[in-house]
Amino acid sequence: MEKIIISLSTILMIITGAYAQQVKADLVIINGKVLTIDKDNPAVEAIAIKGEKIIAVGKTSEISALIEKDFTKVIDAEGRLVLPGFNDAHVHFGPLDPDYVELRYTTNPVVIEQMVKAQVAKSRPGELINGGHWEHEMFIDKKWPTKELIDSVSPNNPVILSRADGHSLLVNSYVLKASGINKNTPDPYGGVIQKDPVTGEPTGIIKENAEELVKSGEIKPKRTTEEEKTRLWLGYLQALKEAREYGVTSIQIPGSADFVAYEKLQKEGELTSRIDIGESLTDDFKKLNGYLELEKKYPMEGNWIRFGYLKAFIDGTIGSGTALMFQPFTDNLSTSGLAMMPYEVFEDMVLKADKLGLQIGTHAIGDKGNNWVLNAYEKAQKVNGKRDSRHRIEHAQTLQASDIPRFAGLGVIASMQPTHCISDKKFCDKRIGTDRAKGAYAWKSLADAGAILAFGTDYQVEPLNPMEGLYASVTRKDRLGENGEGWHPEQKIKMEDAIKYYTLGSAYSQFMEDRKGMIKPGFLADIVIVDKDLLTIPENEIMKTKVDYTIVGGKVVFASGK
């Protein structure tokens, strides 16, 4: 019998043609260079959308059959790159503070003093001056700042300035006094009150768990309830505006956030990014059962506001010198970092939450911290039985070579933020030495070993713009550029893979790979169109790439120039 061979394109045309007789698209994108992230159909030209979902992909000539004049909105991509919407797997998202003192990339500590002074001049006595993102490793002298830097310009205002990683604070004497922190205050478990080696007085640097000693109730802003409500609402709108301008269509918040606020935003038609919100890991069964109730209210099957994972901290950061390492820090042999809790306490929490079927995501930076988390997840499988838990390690920044294959073996997701590499590399070798740094930000080694990677930003620790993460992934170079192949270039990855980890990988981490993260019929229509071809442009053009369109659930929520 003679074989009949029909091309995939012909089959698609037949199917699309038949479908066109039954339904017309609400939105069509034509003439694009569409990177679908679908391995079975990696590149197409056009997309048809009905309601919230993609109904067809293919050639422009095929998809045009689904256009109905005066009904279907048509976007001509004109050859531009079209991608699934970016899904930030780890973002500290929330209302932006219009009075926040932004100190990112500050190189001279005097600038901090000047900016605090300026904000104090605009504030009422007793009103909190809040800011941060300073990085002492970028200072001219590379020294930790002290309260003396800001005391003289803020005698009547509390000042709290967070380090870039969020794991250390610089506070003024007003805050220390209001919080009852003095030379006799002991360090709490997993925390450090930095003290002057001569006088014993607090320097104003508060690290890790010691941040809980800062009494926010004594230094909260002096505003009326209505003023605070207005500021919060405008802050949420500003944050969502920033997200859609960067093409971030999905957001996974580590830890708690205000479900009610996002429900209100959705009701008002202002929610333009999908939101996952979790809670803190605990061993309290009452709280854990409460989380199960939240999961029912905001179920995994939902597409907009969902209950996420339970967040825990096992250690600090490399920058603050508090990441939990097996060996002392190379530049400070007196410490191997800090554990946020004893291992036994952490393991007990994991076992209890895992038994209830909850997903866990644990902050781990140091090689020992990551080892502890993998050990606890492995213990949970042995005690509670193996299931599709998709437990995560948030950051996974420094790994022993022997722990890298354990991610795939245990089904643990490496939730990583590529810009941490290019922000931290300037001091990473100094902190942990070049040998241990070979296991730092090891995206390529993890992927080669079969691990699932989910990319994000750790905003506001790092900028929200996904282009910076893509640049970091493929170059491992400073943002200003540099000669050579980048820092530990063996860990660089291809742009296609970086985009995949930022879309499909992140969707997998939240159990949504069946409907998000690819441009594929039946999937949610979360799509971005960018102004440069990320797959072919020189590396110095990557961070200059802008989003021209952001589409969420089939609706255009951002169009450049409009």
CA 248, CA 84: separation in Å to the nearest integer? 10
Cis peptide bond upstream of 400, omega within 30: no
- Please state the rounded mean pLDDT for residues 181-200: 94
E strand or H helix that includes residue 294: helix 285-297
3-state secondary structure of 312: strand
Look up residue 113 and give its two tokens: 């003093």
CA 69, CA 116: separation in Å to the nearest integer? 57
CA 193, CA 516: separation in Å to the nearest integer? 44
Give the pairing of strands 413-416 and 168-171. Answer: unpaired
**Where on the phi/psi map is residue 328: left (φ > 0), alpha (ψ -120 to 50), or beta?**
beta
Assess if residue 208 is contained within a domain.
Answer: no
E strand or H helix that includes residue 27: strand 27-30
- Please state the rounded mean pLDDT for residues 429-455: 96
User: Which are the contacts of 48, defined by CB distance < 8 A and separation ≥ 6?
Assistant: 25, 27, 28, 54, 55, 56, 57, 63, 66
Burial class (CB in 10 A: 0-12, 13-18, 19+), 237: middle
Assess if residue 37 is contained within a domain.
Answer: yes
Assess if residue 12 is contained within a domain.
Answer: yes
**Cα Rg of the chain, angstroms:** 25
pLDDT band at 48 (very low <50, low <70, confident <90, very high): very high
**Can you give the pTM of this predicted structure?**
0.88
Task: Give residue 246's pLDDT.
Answer: 98
Owning domain of residue 18: 8-79
End-to-end Cα separation, the chain, in angstroms: 60
Query: What are the pLDDT digits (tens) for 469-528?
Result: 999 999 999 999 999 999 999 999 999 999 999 999 999 999 999 999 999 999 999 999
- Please state the rounded mean pLDDT for residues 363-371: 98
Look up residue 36 and give its two tokens: 């679908």
Of the ranges 10-24, 93-107, 121-135, 528-542, the best mean pLDDT one: 528-542
CA 228, CA 223: separation in Å to the nearest integer? 6
CA 557, CA 540: separation in Å to the nearest integer? 28
User: What's the domain count of the chain?
Assistant: 1
Look up residue 14 and give its two tokens: 């037949």
Query: What are the pLDDT digits (tens) for 303-314?
Result: 999 999 999 999
Query: What are the pLDDT digits (tens) for 215-225?
Result: 765 666 667 88
CA angle 427, 432, 434 (to 5 degrees): 85
Assess if residue 70 is contained within a domain.
Answer: yes
- Please state the rounded mean pLDDT for residues 12-18: 50
Assess if residue 84 is contained within a domain.
Answer: no
Assess if residue 57 is contained within a domain.
Answer: yes
CA 375, CA 194: separation in Å to the nearest integer? 31
Contact 262, 286 (CB under 8 A): no
Assess if residue 45 is contained within a domain.
Answer: yes
CATH number of the structural domain spanning residue 32? 2.30.40.10
Bridge partners (DSSP) listed for residue 46: 58
Assess if residue 52 is contained within a domain.
Answer: yes
- Please state the rounded mean pLDDT for residues 133-146: 91
For residue 171, what is the DSSP state? E
Task: Give residue 138's pLDDT.
Answer: 87
